């Protein structure tokens, strides 16, 4: 097929870059505490498993607010909700840096989870509104690139900052960065060509829920729940695994965890090349298998340099299947797309809530190696199941939305 010059209508809308900036700012805080959890546990005199509950509570609150925030975005406007939540997220981090007790820090992580819940899923919905299905996976890939860069810098810098000024310094610095970024995003949205003002009514939302769950592809929600459990549920324990190997530098834990985000960036750079070659089914099978192999490798406790490489491949594989599941979720409904994608995040973060608890129980009951190997088998099987059960089909309300 001969190459032609890129036409203006083939380019992604400039607003996608502003949306990516918003996801970058929100994602700085997601994995920020993971590298410094051993120090948090020491300061408050709690176990590492108790400190790991921060990841669960962040994920839990992120999940439970999704049905409300998704509906609010459809009713009142996506860009407005995103910028408001960014400001609240920055303030939650700053308040966390000033807390004097474990329960108060716990409360600030609840606020951070709620605030973060109003950014990323809504960003995916806004991205899906701005581009057609044929370009949506590439556009969402760019939005993911912002998120992955935020995860990368948040995890790696928190380890470095933690070595110098402790976990309080981590939260203070990230909080200030998120507040500054929220100002930039607000200014960017003012000049961006976004969709028209929301027209969704409560009656339309009720119909949207029926449309979403009557679609056989709603199985993607169960799939992202399992993803969250098996892959992201591992993260709060990575620093303690390194401590067991004698590596106590928080910066190293940050680098290891950041490897996952680097893998996610590789996905965003390669999706436009691999998708035509592998197809959606091939992407899901290959991605899940790659992630499962890395879980199996980490189960045997390799050195931290090998773990960085394992996390890189795990992130690459994870987003190969996760990106496909996001596309299925975006096509469950047109009229209630923010609701559909918020439900996607609800199930994903519900998995991240259960995941650390399940990993903690498994590690204490049967040991690290059997627990991680079990997760490896489950995530690999998930890729084959998704390839068999999910099929690309237009949403049932697509005709009504176009008319």
Angle at 102 between CA 168 and CA 182, to 5 degrees: 45
330 neighbors 129 (Cβ within 8 angstroms):
no
Confidence of residue 1 (pLDDT cuts 50, 70, 90): very low
Q: How far apart are CA 359 and CA 372, in angstroms?
A: 8
Cβ atoms of residues 150 and 28 within 8 Å: yes
Tokens representing 130 are: 């701005």
Q: What is the DSSP letter of 7?
A: P
Q: What DSSP string runs through 322-383?
A: HHHHHHHHHTS-STTHHHHHHHHHHHHHHHHHHHHHHHHHHHHHT-HHHHHHHHHHHHHHHH
CA-based nearest residue to 16, from 116, 117, 136: 136
Residues 6+ apart with CB under 8 A from 337: 74, 125, 128, 129, 330
Q: How far apart are CA 122 and CA 112, in angstroms?
A: 16
Cβ neighbours of 190 (radius 10 Å): 10
193 confidence band (pLDDT: 50, 70, 90):
low
CA dihedral for 194, 200, 206, 211, sign (positive or negative): negative
Q: Which residues contact 357 (CB under 8 A, 6 or more apart)?
A: 56, 233
Distances 190 to 79, 83, 185, 365 between C-alpha atoms, Å: 10, 11, 9, 54
Q: What is the mean pLDDT of residues 168-172?
A: 88
pLDDT of 114: 84
Report residue 192's pLDDT band, with 50, 70 and 90 as the boundaries.
low
In whole angstroms, what is the distance from residue 53 CA to residue 46 CA? 11
**Locus of tokens 């976990």:** 167
The CATH number that domain 12-402 falls under is 1.20.1250.20
Q: What are phi and psi of 389, to 5 degrees?
A: -95, -25
Q: Is the pLDDT of residue 7 over 70?
A: no
For residue 197, is pLDDT > 60? no
Q: Give the pLDDT confidence score for residue 2 in this predicted structure.
A: 37
Q: Is the pLDDT of residue 402 over 70?
A: no
The better pLDDT of the pair 31, 275 is held by 275
Provide the token pair at 313.
Answer: 């491949």
The model's pLDDT over 204-234, given as tens digits with 9 standing for 90+, comes to: 667 777 888 888 999 999 999 999 999 988 9
pTM equals 0.70
Q: What is the DSSP letter of 52?
A: T
Task: Kindly provide the b/e burial profile for residues 302-329, where b requires at least 16 CB atoms within 10 angstroms of the residue's own CB.
Answer: eebeebbbbbbbbbbbbbbbbbbbbbbb
Q: Is 2 exposed, middle or buried (0-12, 13-18, 19+ CB in 10 A)?
A: exposed
Query: Sign of dihedral through CA atoms 181, 186, 191, 192?
Result: positive
Q: What is the mean pLDDT of the chain?
A: 81
pLDDT digits (tens, 9 = 90+) for 33-76: 777 877 888 888 877 777 777 667 777 777 788 777 777 776 77
What was the pLDDT predicted at 331? Answer: 84
């Amino acid at each position: 097929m001969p190459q032609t010059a890129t036409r203006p209508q083939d380019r992604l809308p400039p607003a996608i870059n502003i949306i990516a900036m918003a996801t970058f700012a929100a994602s700085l805080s997601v994995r920020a505490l993971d590298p410094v959890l051993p120090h948090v546990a020491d300061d408050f005199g709690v176990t590492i498993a108790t400190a790991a509950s921060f990841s669960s509570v962040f994920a839990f609150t992120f999940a439970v607010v999704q049905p409300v925030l998704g509906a609010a975005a459809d009713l009142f406007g996506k860009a407005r909700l995103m910028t408001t939540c960014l400001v609240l997220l920055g303030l939650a981090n700053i308040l966390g840096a000033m807390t004097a007790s474990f329960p108060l820090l716990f409360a600030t992580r609840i606020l951070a989870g709620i605030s973060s819940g109003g950014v990323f899923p809504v960003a995916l919905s806004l991205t899906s509104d701005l581009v057609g299905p044929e370009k949506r996976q590439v556009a969402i890939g760019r939005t993911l690139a912002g998120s992955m860069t935020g995860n990368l810098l948040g995890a790696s810098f928190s380890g470095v900052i933690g070595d110098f000024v402790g976990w309080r310094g981590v939260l203070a610095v990230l909080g200030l960065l998120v507040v500054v970024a929220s100002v930039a995003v607000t200014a960017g949205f003012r000049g961006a060509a976004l969709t028209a003002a929301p027209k969704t009514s409560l009656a339309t939302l009720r119909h949207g829920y029926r449309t979403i769950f009557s679609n056989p592809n709603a199985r993607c929600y169960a799939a992202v729940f399992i993803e969250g459990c098996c892959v992201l549920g591992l993260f709060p324990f990575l620093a303690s695994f390194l401590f067991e190997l004698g590596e106590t530098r928080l910066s190293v834990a940050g680098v290891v965890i950041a490897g996952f985000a680097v893998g996610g960036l590789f996905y965003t750079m390669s999706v436009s090349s691999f998708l035509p070659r592998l197809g959606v089914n091939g992407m899901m099978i290959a991605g899940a298998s790659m992630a499962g192999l890395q879980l199996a490798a980490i189960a045997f406790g390799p050195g931290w340099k090998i773990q960085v490489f394992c996390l890189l491949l795990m992130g690459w594989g994870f987003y190969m299947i996760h990106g496909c599941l996001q596309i299925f979720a975006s096509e469950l409904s047109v009229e209630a797309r923010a609701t559909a994608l918020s439900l996607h995040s609800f199930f994903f973060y519900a998995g991240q809530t259960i995941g650390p608890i399940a990993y903690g129980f498994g590690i204490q009951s049967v040991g690290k190696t059997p627990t991680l190997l079990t997760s490896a088998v489950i995530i690999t099987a998930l890729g084959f199941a998704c390839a068999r059960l999910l099929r690309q089909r237009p949403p049932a309300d697509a005709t009504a939305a176009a008319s």
